[in-house]
Amino acid sequence: MFFLALGQKPFALIFEVVKGAFGDGYSLSETLVKTAPILLCALATAMPARLGMLSVGGSGQFYAGAIGGTFVVLHFGALPGGVLLPFLLLGGAAGGAVFGVIAGWLRAQWNVNETLVTLLLNYIGALLVDFAVYGPWRDTANLGWPATPAFPDAARLPTLFGTRLHVGLLIGLALAVLLHLALTGTRWGLMLRVMKGHPKVGLWAGLHAARAALLVMALGGALAGLAGICETSGIEGRLQSGIAANYGLTGFLVAWMAKQHFLKILPYSLAMGALLSASDALQLFAGMPAASAIVLQALLFFAVFVSGRLFESKA
């Protein structure tokens, strides 16, 4: 309806979206390039949600992860790729986890609302990246272009099929499956379910709610942090500001569409990646600003609530 109001033909537009997202090898790879950070950011929302916690801190953790990983590159860049890359990813995960832990700890310690804390940390994360690339980490060789020096080849994530697609997508896939198994099959997963649905039972059973809150927020932060360092190392090849784009909120939306289910997040992330990469293409061909992609996402969000209500009343 939004697009009708703008005088676009909706069906032709949908066709364009599909063509723009999957039409040829290049557009398919661009779709998958967008899918990787969305997938990781969606997992970052879904992980705390398993304990009933609502984190909207994807983009802040994304930036914190990018900073953490970049720190590793700038200080240990001389290491060979086989050693450097694991440390790079670890640095990214640690950076994001720090931001997650701040919110988790405040919640566990003083019951400070984690949603508000993660939201505020988003702005702080973005400003810290700005600080780094305009300040101490700025490459003076880039005249007027605020960014760190380019990463050495050993610090670039391997790409797939000769496209821009990087192994970050595979990492996200593996983690989604792994987390799904951990939550459905292990004692830990059951523990989270008990504490989420019946906090009092959890208390009686001697489960440590505070420890669990810290852990899920750390894991969630680490996932978004991985998205940040993968994007930095795999796509940009240097740290610069604005890299999180809208991935944090997009991931939040995807997690809600998938009802916080780790495996269902996979197809929804792909669909959202398709939408975003097609909207990039449409921006070139039909002159539609990227803002319309955000509007479309918001409308999708509304649709999630409406459909959630419909199914609820049927059940």
Which of 9, 75, 211, 309 binds other proteins (CB under 8 A)? It is 309
Sign of CA dihedral 209, 118, 105, 40: positive
Q: Does 280 bind other proteins (CB under 8 A)?
A: no
H-state helical runs in 77-167: 81-110, 114-134
Give the span between the Cα atoms of 279 and 294, in whole angstroms.
10
The single residue among 75, 203, 298, 311 that binds other proteins, judged by CB under 8 A, is 298
Query: Closest CB to other proteins among 174 and 310?
Result: 310
What does residue 157 show for φ and ψ, rounded to 5 degrees?
A: -65, 140
Task: Pick the piece of the chain touching other proteins (CB under 8 A) from 84-92, 115-123, 169-177, 275-283.
Answer: 115-123
Closest to other proteins by CB, 18 vs 295, is 295
Site residues for other proteins, window 37-56 (CB under 8 A)?
Answer: 51-52, 54, 56
Distance between CA atoms of 286 and 223, rounded to whole angstroms? 35
Q: Does 204 bind other proteins (CB under 8 A)?
A: no
117 lies in the site for other proteins, by CB under 8 A: yes
**Residue 269 binds other proteins (CB under 8 A):** no
Q: Cβ 279 to other proteins, closest distance in Å?
A: 11
Q: Which stretch binds other proteins (CB under 8 A): 111-119, 153-161, 181-189, 230-238?
A: 111-119
Helix extents (H) in the chain: 2-5, 10-22, 25-49, 58-76, 81-110, 114-134, 168-185, 187-197, 199-204, 209-230, 247-257, 262-285, 291-314
Q: How far is the CB of 192 from other proteins (least distance, A)?
A: 11
Query: For residues 163 and 291, what is the distance between their CA atoms, to the nearest angstrom?
Result: 27
Number of residues that bind other proteins (CB under 8 A): 47
Contact 122, 57 (CB under 8 A): yes
Shortest Å distance, C-beta 251 to other proteins: 12
The whole-angstrom separation of Cα 183 and Cα 262 is 9
Q: Give the footprint of other proteins on this chain (CB under 8 A).
A: 51-52, 54, 56, 106, 110-113, 115-117, 119-124, 127-128, 130-131, 134-135, 196-197, 199, 249, 252-253, 256, 289, 291-299, 301-302, 305-306, 308-309
